[in-house]
Amino acid sequence: DTAVSQTPKYLVTQMGNDKSIKCEQNLGHDTMYWYKQDSKKFLKIMFSYNNKELIINETVPNRFSPKSPDKAHLNLHINSLELGDSAVYFCASSQSARGGFDPYEQYFGPGTRLTVT
Amino acid sequence: SQQGEEDPQALSIQEGENATMNCSYKTSINNLQWYRQNSGRGLVHLILIRSNEREKHSGRLRVTLDTSKKSSSLLITASRAADTASYFCATVPRAGNNRKLIWGLGTSLAVNP
């Protein structure tokens, strides 16, 4: 009964490659997020979708492209991977307040540890 | 960018002791949330406290919020080895982009058996 799942859990790849990470939530939430957590555990928001609409698009290289085919899925595609992309990527979901986007508690996936060599 | 700040950065205590972590933030908020992250795992939501609330309890957790000082504290009573984790506070700003959480840098708690 995994609430937020991500695949793959580990991803080791070479510089210049293109890779994708997939996320699915079965909580019925309307908002999903991608976060990047670096080696110092700093958590940085990258993107957020509400009902398939992109509502947060932080300063992220355009090599990163999110896609939300439906409310329950949010994928992250990364082109031309660089060493600095090595990190743990977390997907999360939440239910927004009625009439607004105020995020209530977020539910996180287990993370995808990306290593670029 | 705006960030919360937790202190201490690291805390080491003995099982059975209480652990207190503090969080300060910069702007007025709608709510403040605390999360736990065990090593190698995703974050888990612990407590949400709204700006008009001053204190909240959940089991062995007690959270206080002082909006005049823009600070919050998380108290874990009677700590256990299983409480060893990183603890993050996150705020939802009242103004500006209130669609995202503003995260602190976390407190790393070690509870020694």
What digits encode the pLDDT tens for the residues B25-72? 998 998 999 999 999 899 999 999 999 999 999 999 999 999 999 999
Q: How far is A111 from chain B (nearest CA, A)?
A: 6
Indicate yes or no: CB of B42 within 8 angstroms of CB of A102. Answer: no
* B92 with A102: Cβ contact below 8 A: yes
Handedness of CA B2, B64, B31, B106 (dihedral sign): positive
pLDDT digits (tens, 9 = 90+) for A71-96: 999 999 999 999 999 999 999 999 87
d(CA B98, nearest CA chain A) in Å: 6
Q: Find tokens 């503090």 and name the residue.
A: B22
Give the pair of three-digit tokens for residue B35.
């999360």
Q: Could you say which residues of chain A have pLDDT below 50?
A: none
A to B CB pairs, distance under 8 Å: 60
Distance from B60 to chain A by nearest Cα, in Å?
19
Burial track B64-93 (b if 16+ CB lie within 10 A, e otherwise) = bbeeeebbbbbebeebeeebbbbbbbbbbb
Q: Are A114 and A6 in contact (CB under 8 A)?
A: no
